Amino acid sequence: MKTFNVKTYVLLPLTILAVLFLWFAPASMFHIDGLTVVQQRTIAIFCYAALMWMFEIIPAWATSVSTIVLLLLAVSNKGFAKPEMGDLVNFKELMASFADPIIMLFLGGFVLAIAASKVGLDVYLARILLKPFGTKPSMVLLGFLTLISVMSMFMSNTATAAMMLAFLAPVIKTLPADGGGRMSLAMAIPIAANIGGLGTPIGTPPNAIAIGQLASNGVEIGFAAWMFRFVPVVIFMILFAWWLLQHLYPFKAEKIEIKIHGETERDWKFWTVTITFLGTILLWMTGELTKLNSNVVALIPFAVYAVLGIFTREDFAKIDWHVLWMVTGGFALGTALNKTGLAAALVEAIPFGNWSAIAVLVIAGLLGWLLSNFIANSSAANLLVPILAVVGSAMADNLAGLGGVTTLLVCVAASTSFAMLFPISTPPNAIACSTGLIKTNEMIKVGLIVGILGIAASYAVLLLFPF
């Protein structure tokens, strides 16, 4: 018997009706002076993207691709729109979203992670980095929290969580069923994987989305500048999570043996990947000295590995292309908002300048966090960042003392990393729940505590050390 598909038969038709209504409604309904046809179409397409991302009617990357195509057809100078309909967007600017420098930064990060996994560098690092933590349960927990968070700064948090579960599964089985150790170790996976992504610009898509939007506004954020502010937040939150998990789910075992299987052949490929990996990170962190842009640096390992045959044609299939396409959709929406003049029209129509800067920062962060608990964090960032960029520009004077629009957008990106209330909130949450050891109410409790404190810590750092 076929089940009734709510997304297909209810949410999709409602989305289409909402988009059509906004597309054909009288311009006077929007209460925006001088609203053009092109601007109204942009509003409708933004609504389409928002609802499709929120309801996840189709994959998020598919929403991004279809959004870009709709923009090309409806508001670009090479689509169906005519000059008399308003300011048209140059089709090359929309298509350039596919090759935005931030996309190249993420691509370089994926290549680094694939090469590291291919030569066994990830397993080697796991074995080496966990060794100093010994066999005492509390220290093993700290070791895994540290390792997972560090790897998530440079690898997909989903891939990191999956790999760590493979290492942890046999360890968890050896622990007493009536103790809290199993829960502590299982919960460490999503907490560390989600938090770790905040540490670098390539750690999670929302970071890249915020940085990309700021770059289009003329604000460049370097790799080292981002890490200077957020690595301390990651360290603080990992130490807090370590204390919290031990407090809530204390270990009963007195000793834990960690055995990480897998051979690492330390040949020329291994050392090439290792040296290039470390060299790339070093160049990222010294960008202000070398004057090398972090997006340019990201392509160096790609070139090295490709020329030496370490990264092959088959490895292209391992790149998370869907993440790149999903981020692209947000960039295209931001371009459309600005180039059609809709952003400026919204600024004039809504008195953002009268709003409290603190209230906007807090509401934006909580909204990003709340949305990301129900939809992909990259979708939430794609949805919020373009609009908040407009809000930030409109209340620039009020936000000036708090770091300006930069603080606003980075706050939203940071907030999404702490969205971990439910099994559906992030892939690492789902992976951890697959162990069968974590109850949803326990995940909500821990996720709420870690999430609220994490957002507060991020805000504190950004207000003390604005970009």
pLDDT range class, residue 447, cuts 50, 70, 90: very high
Whole-number pLDDT of residue 59: 87
Whole-number pLDDT of residue 45: 95
Which has the closest alpha carbon to 234: 329, 149, 342? 149
Whole-number pLDDT of residue 69: 96
Please tell me whether residues 158 and 247 are part of one structural domain. yes
Task: Give percent above pLDDT 90 in the chain.
Answer: 43
Instruction: For residue range 322-374, list pLDDT tens digits in order.
Output: 888 888 888 898 889 889 988 888 877 777 667 788 888 998 899 899 888 88
pLDDT, mean over the chain? 88
Please tell me whether residues 315 and 171 are part of one structural domain. yes
Give the span between the Cα atoms of 27 and 393, in whole angstroms: 24
Please tell me whether residues 74 and 157 are part of one structural domain. no
Mean pLDDT of 186-209: 93
Please tell me whether residues 147 and 1 are part of one structural domain. no
Whole-number pLDDT of residue 121: 86
Whole-number pLDDT of residue 268: 93
Whole-number pLDDT of residue 397: 84
Whole-number pLDDT of residue 465: 92
The Cβ-side half-sphere exposure at 12, using a 13 Å CA radius, reads 9
Are 164 and 152 spatial neighbours (Cβ–Cβ below 8 Å)? no
Please tell me whether residues 186 and 110 are part of one structural domain. yes
Name residues whose C-beta falls within 8 Å of residue 106's C-beta, 6 or more positions apart in sequence: 202, 205, 208, 298, 323, 324, 327
Q: What is the DSSP letter of 15?
A: H
DSSP 125-182: HHHHHHGGG-S-HHHHHHHHHHHHHHHHTTS-HHHHHHHHHHHHHHHHHTS-TTSSHH
Local structure of 76: helix, strand or coil: strand
Please tell me whether residues 310 and 276 are part of one structural domain. yes
DSSP 223-260: HHHHHHHHHHHHHHHHHHHHHHHHHHS----S------
Please tell me whether residues 331 and 240 are part of one structural domain. no
Asked if residue 235 belongs to a domain, the reply is yes
Asked if residue 290 belongs to a domain, the reply is yes
Please tell me whether residues 229 and 330 are part of one structural domain. no
Give the span between the Cα atoms of 180 and 238, in whole angstroms: 18
Please tell me whether residues 32 and 90 are part of one structural domain. yes
Please tell me whether residues 90 and 134 are part of one structural domain. no
Instruction: For residue range 140-166, list pLDDT tens digits in order.
Output: 999 999 999 999 998 888 888 888 887
Range from 17-21, 145-149, 439-443 carrying the lowest mean pLDDT:
439-443
Mean pLDDT of 373-380: 83
Where do we find the tokens 């004039």?
348
Mean pLDDT of 187-202: 93
Please tell me whether residues 181 and 122 are part of one structural domain. yes
The Cβ-side half-sphere exposure at 162, using a 13 Å CA radius, reads 8
Mean pLDDT of 96-111: 86
Please tell me whether residues 316 and 326 are part of one structural domain. no
Asked if residue 270 belongs to a domain, the reply is yes
Mean pLDDT of 84-101: 91
Whole-number pLDDT of residue 109: 86
Residue 73 has pLDDT above 80, yes or no: yes
What is the tally of structural domains in the chain?
2
Where do we find the tokens 């490929």?
269
Amino acid letter at 308? L
Residue 457 has pLDDT above 80, yes or no: yes
Asked if residue 276 belongs to a domain, the reply is yes
Asked if residue 364 belongs to a domain, the reply is no
Whole-number pLDDT of residue 352: 67
CA atoms 73, 77, 80, 82: torsion sign: positive
Residue 295 has pLDDT above 60, yes or no: yes
**What does pTM read for this prediction?**
0.84
Asked if residue 185 belongs to a domain, the reply is yes
Whole-number pLDDT of residue 261: 66
Asked if residue 200 belongs to a domain, the reply is yes
pLDDT range class, residue 72, cuts 50, 70, 90: very high
pLDDT range class, residue 216, cuts 50, 70, 90: confident
Whole-number pLDDT of residue 347: 73
Whole-number pLDDT of residue 117: 86
- Choice between 356 and 446, residue whose per-residue pLDDT is larger: 446
Print the domain residue range for 153: 101-214+222-320
Instruction: For residue range 128-141, list pLDDT tens digits in order.
Output: 888 888 888 899 99
- Choice between 181 and 143, residue whose per-residue pLDDT is larger: 143
Asked if residue 123 belongs to a domain, the reply is yes
